Every structure is written in structure tokens, then in C-alpha cells.
Amino acid sequence: MEWQAALGPVLSPLGLDLYDVELTAGTLNVVVSRAGGVDLDALTEASRAVSAWLDAHDPIEGRYTLDVSSPGLERRLRTPEHFAGALGERVTLRERREGQATRRLEGTLVACDATSVTIEDANEGPTRVELAGVERARTVFQWGADQVATGRTRATTSKKG
């Protein structure tokens, strides 16, 4: 299912953007964002709106749990758009390499395109990684005087299929 096309218009009137959607182990994880962050009231509204859309369109067979959350301080990076939004930020990444041990990189994300990312790693220097080889990646929150802590917030609902 093309979740962006389906849920984007549901969330847009609430002033929210669909950051990510993933259906795993009986849970539909919907991650929403907006400039300035997402508070619990916005998540509650988003959860109600997405739940109503799911009830009306019934795109998932069987029972599942709907989990609506914000990306949080250390947001997951899965798509080229996620990486593009993290340019210039500190990230950590695990890379699968055929015939070799998994490599962990951490540093500033300096470039990205539709198929790869480049990280300025402290040990490896500038390192290009194909997105197909990324096992997992996320931004790294760095505490500092100019940082404001706004943690991940979540609203969860059970759904019947």
C-alpha cells in the first residue's frame, strides 16, 4: 500500500506530515512530524484521524495495533527523503557488507542521493554507503547548551480487522 498517498491527506489538515509508516509484528507504526515538534494533543488527533481512515478503508487484514508517534530526538532514517532531511546532522549507521562483518559508522551526513549516502566518519573519513546496504540508521542527539530536549511521544490504539 502507498501509505503516503493514503495518510498524507488525512494528516495534512491537522498540520502534520507523515514521516514514516511500517507494519511489523501486528503493529502499524505511523510516525508524524511538523516544524516545531509534535505534542500529545496533536498525536491524539492524528491517532483518531488515522484510526477513522483505517476503519473506513480497512486496508489491513486481521487484528493489529495502531501506534502513532513522533520521530523523537533520535529519528530513524529509512528513505532517501529521511536522509536528505538529516544532511549536516550527526548520524549512526550499520552497513551490511557481503562476505564481511557489518560495519558501524558514525559521523556527519555530508551527502545523499536516491541510492547512497556519504558520512564523514571519525575513523574512516568520508564513506559512501549504498542505501540498499543500510541495515539501520538514525540521527544522534548531542546534548549541548543550544540543544532543546523534545522526546518521542506516542499514542497507541488497538484495532480489529
Give the domains, in start order, of the chain with CATH numbers: 3-73+149-159 (3.30.300), 80-139 (2.30.30.100)
Query: Bigger pLDDT: 144 or 156?
Result: 144
Report DSSP letters for 30-54, one per residue. Answer: EEEE-TT---HHHHHHHHHHHHHHH
Element (H, E) at 158: strand 154-159
Residues 6+ apart with CB under 8 A from 71: 19, 20, 31, 33, 152
User: Where does the pLDDT of residue 144 fall: very low under 50, low under 70, confident under 90, or very high at 90 and above?
Assistant: confident
Q: Tell me the per-residue pLDDT of 42-99, one tens digit each, with 9 for 90 and over.
A: 999 999 999 999 999 999 999 999 999 999 889 999 999 999 999 999 999 999 999 9
Report DSSP letters for 103-156, one per residue. Answer: EEEEEEEEEE-SSEEEEEETTTEEEEEEGGGEEEEEE-----TT-------EEE
Q: Tell me the per-residue pLDDT of 91-138, one tens digit each, with 9 for 90 and over.
A: 999 999 999 999 999 999 999 999 999 999 989 999 999 999 999 999
C-alpha cell at 93: 549507521
3-state secondary structure of 9: helix
3-state secondary structure of 27: strand
- Residue 17 confidence (pLDDT) above 80: yes
User: pTM higher than 0.85 for the full model?
Assistant: no
C-alpha cell at 68: 502513532
